[in-house]
């Protein structure tokens, strides 16, 4: 019976188990410049705030004492002014007397009490709106309460006067202090920004330059790069040590490159003659044939074999045979053009590749030149001399073959035909029969 329900996903957890929570999102780490700037701002703001709080507390204590003394002085002046009105019971005169003085002082209310502690006269400053109410609320919290002074006449207490401060001066001081703190904070932010830029130049910038060089070395192996000198002693020492480490790495890199180049040369060249070996020659020949096929050009191949080389080796020794091979290699190099390639295929067999030839006669002329160069005597290690000769087979791409292996085989066969015809001769491969 076909189950129409959704098949279970193999990635789902087993029954009875909950899926593991997803990995937490990778949190981006803050930069050094941001950490230094944030720390500097915190220190600067904390210092400004603490200084402002300290100054505010000191100023508040001093202003509170000043306000209390000021209220006492105003109260004495009002008590002296209202004395006569209280003695004669003139309430109107008492109100006018206290109003004359209170209007010019930082007071909000003045009450005159008689000897029985009953209200005799009262003056209150008119309501000035929201700002006045805010000033009054601040004064009630920060300033001392109303002061009470006796009214004396001939040494006897005839009444009392109660003076309550308005707090306008304190409110102005408070607003000025807040404005000063805000101004200091703005100046602090501006100075902190300037110092942050200097820190970026003196601290963050050298570290960033060091990090950029390290990234370039890690990603691009750019061991030639160096860290510039900085005025800070610790960073200079760090940069010098890092540059010294890069010097060692660069030396190791150059040494490895030289070793790799040597190994590559040894893998592709014959150790005796210094000529490319068979594997390298066949690779270059295949590449040349592919390019010639695209361009519609020809490539000539000369296959060379030294005559009587086995007799030289057997009769005169291997040193003499090696000397003959080295001399042949040198003479094969001389008439070649830039882009031509000569190689030792093995034993006494050599090959010359001529890309871009137009016709077989060009290869024939080179073969004749090479045969003529072999007529000069070859110096042997024991001081003697000998003359050797070569047999050369010539084949042309694409006339005689369409690929590298066939072209080599055809040229080799042509070389054997030249050898049968006589020493020191050349032979062109026959065109394949259609």
How confident is the model over 108-133, as pLDDT tens digits? 889 999 888 889 888 988 877 777 77
Secondary element (H or E) of residue 177: helix 168-199
- Region 57-66: mean pLDDT is 77
State the pLDDT at residue 7.
Answer: 52
Nearest to 125 by CA among 164, 94, 90: 164
pLDDT tens-digit series, residues 133-173 = 777 777 777 677 788 989 888 888 889 999 888 777 777 77
- Region 195-224: mean pLDDT is 78
Mean pLDDT (the chain) is 84
Question: Do the bridges between strand 341-346 and strand 298-306 make them parallel or antiparallel, or are there none, so unpaired?
Answer: unpaired
Q: Which residue has the higher pLDDT, 189 or 6?
A: 189
Nearest to 348 by CA among 329, 334, 333, 361: 329
Confidence tier at 21 by pLDDT (50, 70, 90): low
State the pLDDT at residue 323.
Answer: 95
- Asked if the 278-428 domain carries CATH number 3.30.70.270, the reply is yes
d(CA 274, CA 285): 18
Q: What does the buried/exposed string (b/e) look like for 165-177 if buried means 16 or more CB atoms within 10 Å of the residue's CB?
A: bbbbbbbebbeee
Which listed CATH number (1.10.1200, 2.170.140, 3.40.50, 3.30.450) goes with 32-171? 3.30.450
Percent of the chain past pLDDT 90, that is, above it, reads 34
What are the E-state strand segments in 295-407? 298-306, 341-346, 349-357, 378-379, 385-386, 390-397
The answer to whether residue 3 is catalytic is no
Do the Cβ atoms of 352 and 408 come closer than 8 Å?
Answer: no
d(CA 220, CA 227): 16
Give backbone dihedrals phi and psi of 222, rounded to 5 degrees, phi first.
-85, 75
Give backbone dihedrals phi and psi of 232, rounded to 5 degrees, phi first.
-80, 130
Question: Do the bridges between strand 298-306 and strand 390-397 make them parallel or antiparallel, or are there none, so unpaired?
Answer: antiparallel
What are the E-state strand segments in 134-196? 147-153, 156-165
State the pLDDT at residue 2.
Answer: 46
Whether the predicted model's global pTM rises above the 0.75 cut: no
Do the Cβ atoms of 427 and 363 come closer than 8 Å?
Answer: no
d(CA 130, CA 68): 25
State the pLDDT at residue 31.
Answer: 65
Catalytic position from the list 270, 305, 340, 348: 348
Residue 270, helix vs strand vs coil: coil
State the pLDDT at residue 240.
Answer: 86
Do the Cβ atoms of 404 and 394 come closer than 8 Å?
Answer: no
What are the distances in angstroms from CA 67 to CA 75, 122, 175, 220? 12, 21, 17, 75
User: Hey, what's the torsion of the CAs at 361, 363, 365, 366, to 10 degrees?
Assistant: 170
- Region 269-276: mean pLDDT is 94
d(CA 31, CA 420): 83
pLDDT tens-digit series, residues 228-255 = 887 778 878 888 888 888 888 888 888 8
**Which of 9-13, 63-67, 360-364 shows the highest mean pLDDT?**
360-364
> What is the per-residue DSSP string for 288-314?
HHHHHHHHT-EEEEEEEEETTHHHHHH
Which tokens belong to 206? 């050298």
User: Where on the phi/psi map is residue 30: left (φ > 0), alpha (ψ -120 to 50), or beta?
Assistant: beta
d(CA 373, CA 163): 133
Do the Cβ atoms of 153 and 87 come closer than 8 Å?
Answer: yes
Topology alike, domains 32-171 and 278-428:
no
Q: Can you give the residue ranges of every domain in the chain?
A: 32-171, 221-268, 278-428
């Amino acid at each position: 019976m076909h189950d129409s329900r959704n098949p279970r996903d193999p990635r789902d957890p087993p029954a009875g188990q909950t899926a593991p929570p997803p990995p937490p999102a990778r949190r981006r780490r803050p930069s050094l410049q941001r950490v230094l700037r944030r720390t500097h701002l915190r220190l600067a703001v904390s210092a400004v705030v603490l200084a402002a709080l300290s100054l505010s507390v000191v100023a508040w204590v001093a202003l509170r004492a000043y306000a209390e003394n000021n209220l006492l002085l105003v109260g004495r002046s009002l008590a002296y002014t209202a004395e006569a009105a209280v003695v004669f019971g003139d309430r109107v005169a008492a109100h006018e007397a206290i109003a004359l003085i209170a209007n010019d002082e930082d007071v909000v209310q003045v009450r005159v009490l008689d000897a029985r502690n009953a209200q005799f006269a009262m003056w209150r400053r008119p309501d000035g709106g929201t700002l006045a109410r805010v000033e009054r609320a601040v004064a009630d919290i920060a300033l001392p309460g109303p002061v009470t002074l006796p009214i004396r006449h001939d040494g006897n207490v005839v009444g009392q006067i109660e003076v309550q401060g308005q707090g306008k001066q304190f409110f102005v001081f408070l607003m000025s202090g807040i404005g000063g703190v805000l101004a200091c904070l703005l100046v602090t932010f501006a100075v902190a920004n300037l110092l942050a830029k200097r820190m970026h130049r003196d601290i963050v910038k050298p570290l960033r330059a060091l990090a950029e060089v390290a990234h370039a070395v890690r990603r691009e192996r750019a061991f030639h790069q160096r860290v510039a000198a900085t005025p800070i002693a610790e960073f200079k020492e760090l940069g010098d040590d890092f540059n010294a480490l890069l010097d060692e790495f660069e030396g190791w890199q150059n040494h490895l490159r030289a070793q790799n180049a040597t190994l590559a040369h040894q893998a592709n060249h014959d150790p005796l003659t210094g000529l490319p070996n068979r594997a390298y020659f066949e690779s270059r020949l295949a590449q040349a044939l592919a390019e010639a096929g695209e361009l519609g050009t020809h490539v000539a191949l000369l296959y060379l074999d030294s005559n009587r080389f086995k007799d030289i080796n057997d009769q005169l020794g291997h040193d003499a045979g090696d000397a003959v091979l080295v001399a042949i290699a040198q003479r094969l190099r001389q008439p070649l053009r830039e882009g031509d390639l000569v190689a030792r295929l093995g034993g006494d067999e050599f090959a010359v590749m001529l890309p871009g030839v137009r016709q077989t006669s060009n290869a024939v002329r080179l073969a004749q030149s090479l045969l003529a160069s072999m007529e000069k005597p070859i110096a042997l290690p024991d001081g003697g001399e000998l003359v050797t000769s070569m047999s050369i087979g010539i084949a042309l791409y694409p006339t005689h073959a369409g690929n590298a292996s066939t072209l080599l085989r055809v040229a080799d066969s042509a070389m054997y035909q030249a050898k049968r015809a006589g020493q020191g001769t050349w032979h062109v491969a026959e065109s394949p029969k259609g």
